[in-house]
């Protein structure tokens, strides 16, 4: 195989691995940021629920204070009822007392609603805090794994970049320029040809091009996509198996006559005529 082509094949493998590792290194911080964003959302939900509980507690205290104020009024009305002179005055005070008691029941109902709502919010807070604890552990684990993986990837990238520089030094300027140009345009510079087809764009190669490619003496590019082509005989499909030829009718009849004569001769030998 052409030395430049062999080095280009190795160079593309290195370039692909460098691209993969670079993408992996770039993706790790994004992954951590996504998890931390979820963590921040959980913290926000906990704080929002706690704020809701505090607000409802404040309202409950207001209703409780209102009940105490109404109860004081009822007490005054009852004291006043002892000093009234007429039934109309007494009925008026009883009416005020009944109205005040209704207001107390309304406030008590609101307090009950608040208590039930706070109970639900407290359950939500506990569930969210539990989830928050789990997510915090996941974030710390992910961060630790990301740091380790980033260190490994950075080390591997440094080795690959050194190997890349070495390979590029061993490739002719023309071949390297063609490779770089195609990579910029197509993201990949080489394509394996199989069964007379370009492995990248699947366009049929001309017979002469295919034969020259199999010879491996020079660099050949695809007329369609421009990628540098290479041929690996190990990937060539095996030749089709030979199918047994069918006997012609005349040949079969001839063989049948020969078999009959052979059987007849054998019989004469075993049982000679007397």
Q: What is the pTM of this model?
A: 0.56
Q: What is the DSSP letter of 85?
A: -
Give the tens place of pLDDT for each residue, 157-182.
Answer: 999 999 999 999 999 999 999 999 99
Taken in order 261, 263, 267, 270, the sign of the CA dihedral is positive
- What is the per-residue pLDDT for 256? 63
For the chain, give the longest Cα–Cα distance: 169
- What is the per-residue pLDDT for 271? 44
Give the tens place of pLDDT for each residue, 19-60.
Answer: 999 998 888 888 878 877 878 877 888 888 888 888 888 989
Crossing angle, helix 3-81 and helix 87-169, to 10 degrees?
Answer: 170
Domains of the chain with CATH codes? 3-169 (1.10.287.1490), 173-235 (no CATH)
Do 240 and 216 form a contact (C-beta atoms < 8 A)? no
Consecutive H or E run containing 194: strand 190-194
Which portions of the chain are predicted below pLDDT 50? Answer: 263, 268-274
Q: How far apart are CA 197 and CA 95, in angstroms?
A: 101
């Amino acid at each position: 195989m052409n030395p430049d082509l062999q080095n280009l094949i190795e160079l593309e493998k290195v370039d692909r691995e460098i691209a993969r590792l670079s993408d992996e290194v770039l993706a790790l911080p994004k992954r951590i940021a996504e998890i931390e964003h979820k963590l921040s959302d959980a913290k926000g939900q906990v704080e929002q629920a706690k704020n809701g509980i505090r607000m409802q507690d404040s309202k409950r205290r207001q209703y409780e204070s209102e009940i105490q104020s109404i109860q004081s009024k009822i007490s005054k009305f009852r004291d006043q009822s002892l000093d009234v002179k007429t039934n109309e005055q007494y009925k008026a005070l009883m009416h005020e007392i009944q109205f005040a008691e209704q207001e107390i029941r309304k406030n008590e109902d609101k307090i009950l609603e608040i208590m039930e709502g706070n109970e639900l919010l407290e359950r939500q807070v506990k569930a969210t805090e539990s989830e928050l604890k789990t997510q915090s552990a996941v974030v710390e684990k992910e961060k630790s794994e990301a740091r380790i993986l980033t260190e490994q990837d950075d080390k591997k990238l440094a080795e690959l970049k050194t190997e890349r520089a070495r390979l590029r030094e061993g490739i002719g300027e023309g071949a390297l320029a063609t490779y770089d140009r195609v990579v910029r345009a197509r993201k990949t510079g080489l394509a394996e040809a199989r069964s007379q087809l370009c492995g990248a764009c699947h366009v049929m190669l001309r017979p002469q091009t295919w034969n020259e490619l199999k010879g491996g003496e020079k660099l050949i590019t695809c007329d369609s996509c421009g990628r540098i082509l290479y041929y690996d005989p190990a990937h060539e499909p095996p030749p089709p198996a030979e199918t047994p030829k069918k006997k012609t009718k005349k040949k079969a009849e001839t063989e049948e006559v020969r078999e009959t004569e052979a059987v007849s001769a054998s019989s004469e030998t075993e049982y000679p005529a007397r």
